[in-house]
Structure 1
Amino acid sequence: MHPIEVGSPSHREINFDEIANEEGLRTNMELIDEVWDQAVAKMERYKEKTGEHFSKKSRVKNFQVGDLVLRDTEASDPTNTGKLMPKWEGPYKVKEVLRPGTYKLLNMDGSEVPNTWHGSD
């Protein structure tokens, strides 16, 4: 025995209109560029909001000549890091501001630290 539903047509089969279906597909194809543009705009807004959220958490501090600063040990010697190692070393004195955020440093004995250093607060 077969259930009665097997032989009877479904609501979708009864109400199917091939011409209306073709017109609907053509309309969807015409609107695909608009839908795509909306999706791209939505992604851009999401990226902007995410960037704004994370930029709120970071603060930029500009150091002046003569300021005392600490240096991240991971930046100065990546091989000498670990769970129990100090995270900062110094203090160092800012010798020169090359551009905002980039500095030449001096040891406390007056000798220059090699390389330039990027600073954050």
Structure 2
Amino acid sequence: MTKWTKANSDFEEFLKELRIKHKKASLAHPQGNGQVEVTNRTIPRGLEKRLEESKKSWPDELPKVLWSYRTTSQTGTGKTPFKLAYGTEARLPIETGSPSHRMVNFDEVSNIEGLQNNLELLDEVRDQAVEKMESYKEKTKLYFAKKAKIREYVVGDLVLRDTEASDPTNQGKLQPNWEGPYIVKKVLHPGTYKLNYLSGTEVPNTWHGTQLRKFYQ
């Protein structure tokens, strides 16, 4: 067992203990992990705007960018990440110098009661965010479906796999574009598949239809 295999095994055991269901996105298909990719794209963009010439100071700027992201309402959920985590909105730094309505009318007793009420309603707020996110994802899916046709396969189909997707580090002008064939073992959901080698051994990871093509004997 390699150190990477052991690390993966330990991580899976950690998730199991916390009753977390680990869902893996298709390899080399970041669109399948949209929410994470959007976050990962937003944070570097925020850093780029702040750094300008001093690229090495990004650790100092990162907390500010994260705070900005966590207190900004997201299109998909209609809520801020802070609200979904704590049940209430954060007090922004600008409210210290230019007091808002809630700061001027602050009362400690009613504030504690309000925070408690918000916590009791937090599950409902999160459910609403999930519903809005699902609606947003469906609209996005329909939008992109008009632009791209996803190849669909059934269990037992023979397919070739995009060489660049399977091994991005092993590329060259003489490298074949497709490798295989493989057998479609399982359709996880439209456009995402588990594959087997011809010997019957399972191919690691899941694969998106955009990285596969039909193999004709």
- CA apart distance, 1:83: 1.1
Compute the RMSD of aligned alpha carbons: 1.9
- CA apart distance, 1:74: 0.5
Aligned-partner SS, 1:63 = coil
Aligned-partner SS, 2:165 = helix
Residue 84 of structure 1 aligns with which residue? Answer: 174
Taking the aligned partners of 1:82 and 1:115, their CA distance within structure 2 comes to 24
What amino acid is aligned across from residue 99 of structure 1 in structure 2?
H
Asked if residue 67 in structure 1 is aligned to residue 157 in structure 2, the reply is yes
Bigger helix fraction? 2
TM alignment of 1:42-53, pairs within 5 A: none
Gaps of 5+ in 2: 1-142
Taking the aligned partners of 1:61 and 1:119, their CA distance within structure 2 comes to 5
How many pairs does the alignment contain?
68
Aligned-partner SS, 2:187 = strand
Residue 198 of structure 2 aligns with which residue? Answer: 108
Bigger strand fraction? 1
Taking the aligned partners of 1:65 and 1:74, their CA distance within structure 2 comes to 24
TM-score (norm 2): 0.29
Taking the aligned partners of 2:201 and 2:180, their CA distance within structure 1 comes to 13
Q: Deviations over 1:66-120 (max 9, x none)?
A: 0010000100001111111001000000000001111000000110000011113
TM-score (norm 1): 0.52
Residue 98 of structure 1 aligns with which residue? Answer: 188
Residue 207 of structure 2 aligns with which residue? Answer: 117
Moved over 3 A (4+): none
Gaps of 5+ in 1: 1-50
